[in-house]
Structure 1
Amino acid sequence: MGKKVLLTGFDPFGGEKINPALEGVKQLDGKFIDDIEIVAQAVPTVFHESINVVINAIQIHKPDVVICVGQAGGRTQVTPERVAINIDDARIPDNQGNQPIDEPIYEEGPPAYWTTLPVKRIVHEMKKAGVPAAVSNTAGTFVCNHLFYGIMHYLEKNAPHVRGGFIHIPFIPEQTIEKNAPSLSLDVIVNGLKIAALVAANEKEDIREIGGATH
């Protein structure tokens, strides 16, 4: 019996017309890689609603792995996130105008949740395949971190056998025509997400290799 991976991607936000996270996961929706089925879910860039949409998708699809994907404009690599923190501190409003400042996501929740994805192994395999990648130690304090924390909170309480985590991706080239920012092609991003899904479904244990950051 093959495994199932749920990939989620946010809709465009912050004045962008496209979100490479959503475009990337859509390309993998319904695909089988080896015997692993990938299903994709579009997510609104909205506090709280984003968590509810993904919880609903988890309940419908019953995946073995959940990987939420979001855009981090300015990053040069595909970056699996190590940790989600229990804080909303929005620099800009979300797509419904919400802008929480220094608010906990869940009052009763712990300060943070670690990813349960083998992030260093994922980065190792991405690099081997020519995808620029690195472990990130901050998912920010906007809707990406909010969703990452909310899903880890839900899984720990309701489905601890399901692994979950978050991956940030850079802009794609068409988003950088009017701005000086790095980008990766959508093909490279999609290949990175495919590798992440495969590794997360097949490899429970992470590897120990240098991947820390000094800042």
Structure 2
Amino acid sequence: MSTVKMIVSGFEVFGGLNKNPTLDILKDLKENPPPGVDLYTIALPVEYDACFEPLESLVDDFRPDSVIALGVAAGRSSVQPERIGINIEDTGGEGRMGDNRGNTPVDRKIRGDGPDGYFSTLPNRKIIKAIREQGIPSDLSNSAGTFICNAVLYRLMDKLIREERGVPAGFIHVPATPDMVPSSSGMPSMHQADLNEAVRTAIQVIKEAEEG
């Protein structure tokens, strides 16, 4: 069996939430590594100015064949690969929820001379199809927002494309888990086991695509 080198990132807890399910996904992957994958996991800080540096260093040191960045999007009802990251950081300004250091940028470009956006290079449609075949809801998302998730996606693609790495990479948003959602809110959620299985399925799809 051939082996591919892959990075999967998640995020620390943020925004007053009681957990971040991406950390549990990383824990599951570390405890039960997918077969045929030399996997490195990393939890990123939820800070505009520091969110990408640990991942950038890991990409340089580990030289992966592919990269999946994960984030939680409370309110979404399915596992959603992102189509594009855009060149903007915006939390709505003072009085709005900022990052974990209280930063609340408005209309700030991520890279001043950078393009307006970068498309993910993961096989998103195949990932969605495979996740659905596991009985888990999955859809394509056309907006990663303007918070830290989008910042990581944009910076990751900017680096890989400018350096001509030829490394498939992108971002997948997962829903909140039931223990994060008040029962009276009506907000959708998904069990952690399904989130874990969805990401494992995405990893398998990416591995098979790389093996040709």
Q: TM-score, normalised by structure 1?
A: 0.90
Post-superposition CA distance 1:67-118 (Å, at most 9, x none)? 1000100000000000110011114210011111101100011000000000
Please state how far the C-alpha of 1:159 moved relative to its aligned partner: 4.8
3-state SS of 1:113 partner: strand
Work out whether 1:195 is the aligned partner of 2:195.
no
- Contact 1:28–1:39 at 8 Å: present in 2 too? no
- 2:170 corresponds in structure 1 to 165
Q: Where in structure 2 are the equivalents of 1:70-149 lying within 5 Å? A: 70-91=71-92, 92-149=97-154
Deviations 1:193-214 (A, max 9, x none): 0111111122159xxxxxxxxx
Q: Deviations over 1:137-189 (max 9, x none)?
A: 10000000011000000111225221110000000011013643111011000
Q: How far apart, CA to CA, are the structure 2 residues paired with 1:41 and 1:34?
A: 19
User: Which one is further off, 67-76 or 151-160?
Assistant: 151-160
Aligned to 1:213: none
- Does the CA-based 8 Å contact 1:31-1:38 persist in structure 2? no
Does the aligned pair in 2 maintain the 1:88–1:104 contact within 8 Å?
A: yes
Between the aligned residues of both structures, percent identity stands at: 33
8 A Cα contact 1:10 1:45, kept in partner: yes
| TM-score, normalisation: structure 2 | 0.92
Q: 2:153 corresponds to which letter in structure 1?
A: F
Q: How far 1:26 sits from its partner (Å)?
A: 2.1
Q: How does 1:169-180 map to 2 (within 5 A)?
A: 169-177=174-182, 179-180=185-186
Which amino acid in structure 2 is aligned with residue 121 of structure 1?
K
1:47-86 → structure 2 map (5 Å cutoff): 47-86=48-87
SS of the aligned residue for 2:51 comes to: helix
Cα RMSD for the two superposed structures? 1.6
Paired with 2:38 and 2:56, the residues of 1 have a C-alpha distance of: 19
Q: Distance in 2 between matches of 1:65 and 1:202?
A: 12
Question: Which letter does structure 2 place at the counterpart of 1:8?
Answer: S
Shift of 1:62: 1.8
Q: Is the 8 A contact 1:83 1:115 kept in 2?
A: yes
| Paired residue type of 1:169 | V
- Alpha-carbon distance between aligned partners in 2 of 1:80 and 1:59, rounded to the nearest angstrom: 24
In the aligned structure 2, how far is the partner of 1:161 from the partner of 1:2? 18
Q: Distance in 1 between matches of 2:49 and 2:200?
A: 27
Unpaired segments of 5 or more residues in structure 2?
A: none
In structure 1, C-alpha distance between the alignment counterparts of 2:59 and 2:164, rounded to whole Å: 10
